[in-house]
């Protein structure tokens, strides 16, 4: 695709720096627009994919990066270009569907991680959650599209989220390890490529385990390990139910 053809694409599916250049009358969360110079450099060095300009993969990647920028830095969701504001919904792993207003108030970390052993969303604000992970990943928690499986209006794609754990996470010392999450998403978009809804599927505990020194076996790693653990939980519940129907003294008597 030529530069002219690229420029004819909607602004929100072009490079996020172009979106920033044309974002006027915006109330920025931290008083000024973000500077992605360092992030762009690290993406160029660490990304595993090099998508052709104007390809479907490039368009999806630009759209999601623009959305992430707008959620993180534009206070007013009415100013977000990447979504249809009054219809937008997002969810993860079959959980609750959140609105653009929810995302602007609580932040994506709080909505996607919720309350776990090593992260309590109810105790974090948008700003404190962002600072927590910015401290853990001072060189950025980067994101790229790996593969796109279907074209608009229903776009299914696989992605990778990663960063080097080179800063402290709460009381846990950095390990200098690259922490990586691989997941899949399904996004519904309009004819002009604005997001109506998006569902994410990934194991949101994996990177917290790495940040807090919880060891994993190779069987536990990755998206398939996550699915297998869900299956095992279902079998465990079934076994527990069967045991509950037995004589309460059977285990002792045996």
Domains of the chain: 3-214 (3.10.450.50), 216-254 (no CATH)
> Residues 55-76: pLDDT tens digits?
999 999 999 999 999 999 999 9
pLDDT tens-digit map of 134-173: 999 999 999 999 999 999 999 999 999 999 999 999 999 9
pTM over 0.85: no
Q: What is the DSSP string of 205-250?
A: THHHHHHTT----GGGSHHHHHHHHHHHHHHHHHHHHHHHTS-TTH
Provide the pairing of β-strand 195-201 with 89-92.
Answer: parallel
184 versus 217: the higher-pLDDT residue is 184
């Amino acid at each position: 695709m030529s530069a002219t053809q690229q420029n004819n694409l909607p602004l929100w599916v072009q490079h996020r720096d172009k979106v920033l250049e044309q974002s006027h009358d915006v109330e920025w969360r931290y008083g000024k627009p973000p500077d992605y110079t360092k992030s762009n450099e690290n993406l160029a060095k660490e990304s595993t994919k090099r998508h052709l300009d104007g390809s479907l993969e490039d368009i999806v990647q630009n759209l999601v990066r623009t959305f992430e920028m707008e959620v993180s830095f534009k206070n007013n969701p009415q100013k977000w270009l990447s979504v249809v504001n009054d219809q937008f919904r997002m969810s993860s792993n079959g959980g609750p569907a959140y609105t653009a207003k929810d995302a602007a108030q609580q932040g994506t970390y709080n909505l996607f991680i919720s309350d776990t052993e090593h992260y309590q969303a109810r105790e974090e604000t948008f700003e404190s959650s962002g600072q927590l992970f910015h401290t853990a990943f001072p060189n950025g928690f980067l994101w790229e599209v790996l593969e796109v499986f279907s074209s608009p209006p229903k776009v299914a794609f696989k992605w990778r989220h990663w960063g080097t754990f080179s800063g402290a996470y709460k009381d846990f010392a950095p390990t200098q390890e690259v922490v990586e999450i691989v997941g899949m998403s399904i996004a519904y978009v309009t004819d002009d490529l604005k997001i109506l809804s998006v569902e994410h599927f990934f194991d949101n505990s994996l990177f917290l385990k790495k940040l807090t020194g919880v060891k994993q076996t190779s069987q536990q790693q990755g998206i398939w390990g996550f699915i297998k653990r869900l299956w095992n939980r279902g079998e465990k519940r079934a076994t527990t139910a069967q045991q509950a129907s037995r004589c309460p003294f059977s285990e002792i008597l045996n």
